[in-house]
C-alpha cells in the first residue's frame, strides 16, 4: 500500500523506532579512543573520549545496561554502575573511566547495595567535555526487575 501524505510516512517511520532498546556491552562501551582537548579550568589538555559511531547512535536513545553498584552520590539521586566489582573498579584505580556509568535514578528514594549486580534502563547521554562528570550517563533510569 502506498501512502502519499508526509505525516503518515512520519508516523510509520517513528513507530519503527519505538520499542528499540539498545543493550551495549561493557566491551563495546570501553572500545573508545581518546583525544586531547584544552580545558580552561585545568589550564591544560585533558583526555576526552572520541566516541565511535556505534556508540554515538545510542545517544539520546533508550538503553539497558547491567553492572555492579558502586557508591557514588550521597544524595541518592544517582548511583554508579561498573563493569567490575567495587574492589576492582575505576575509582579504586583498577580500571579505566569508560568502565563506569552514572545512573541518574527516576525514583530517587531507591537504595542499592554495594556490588549488587543490577540492570537499568534509561536514556544514554555521552559526555565528551565536562571534567566533573563521567563519560557515560544514564538519565531517567529505572532498575529492571
Q: What digits encode the pLDDT tens for the residues 92-140?
A: 777 889 999 999 999 988 889 999 999 999 999 999 999 999 999 999 9
Q: Are 22 and 28 in contact (CB under 8 A)?
A: no
Rounded Cα gap, residues 22 and 114, in angstroms: 25
Q: What are the residues whose beta carbons fall under 8 Å from the beta carbon of 81, sequence distance 6 or more?
A: 65, 66, 67, 68, 69, 70, 100, 101, 103, 118, 120
Whether residue 3 has pLDDT greater than 90: no
Cell of 132: 566533573
> Which carries the bigger pLDDT value, residue 84 or residue 89?
84
pLDDT in tens, 17-75: 557 899 999 999 999 999 999 999 999 999 999 999 999 999 999 999 999 999 788 88
Ordered by where they begin, the domains of the chain are 21-143 (2.40.50.140)
pLDDT attached to residue 110: 87
Cell of 1: 500500500
CA dihedral over 37, 41, 43, 46, signed as positive or negative? negative
Q: Are 111 and 130 in contact (CB under 8 A)?
A: no
**The model's pTM:** 0.83
Amino acid at each position: 500500500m502506498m501512502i502519499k501524505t508526509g505525516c503518515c510516512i512520519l508516523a510509520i517511520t517513528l513507530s519503527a523506532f519505538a520499542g528499540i532498546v539498545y543493550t551495549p556491552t561493557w566491551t563495546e562501551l570501553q572500545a573508545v579512543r581518546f583525544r586531547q582537548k584544552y580545558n580552561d579550568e585545568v589550564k591544560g589538555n585533558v583526555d576526552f573520549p572520541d566516541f565511535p559511531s556505534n556508540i554515538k547512535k545510542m545517544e539520546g536513545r533508550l538503553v539497558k545496561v547491567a553492572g555492579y553498584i558502586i557508591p557514588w552520590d550521597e544524595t541518592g539521586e544517582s548511583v554508579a554502575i561498573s563493569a567490575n566489582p567495587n574492589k576492582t573498579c575505576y575509582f579504586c584505580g583498577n580500571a579505566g573511566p569508560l568502565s563506569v556509568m552514572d545512573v541518574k535514578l527516576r525514583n530517587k528514594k531507591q537504595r542499592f547495595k554495594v556490588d549488587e549486580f543490577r540492570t537499568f534502563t534509561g536514556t544514554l547521554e555521552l559526555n565528551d567535555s565536562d571534567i566533573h562528570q563521567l563519560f557515560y550517563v544514564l538519565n531517567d533510569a529505572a532498575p529492571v526487575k
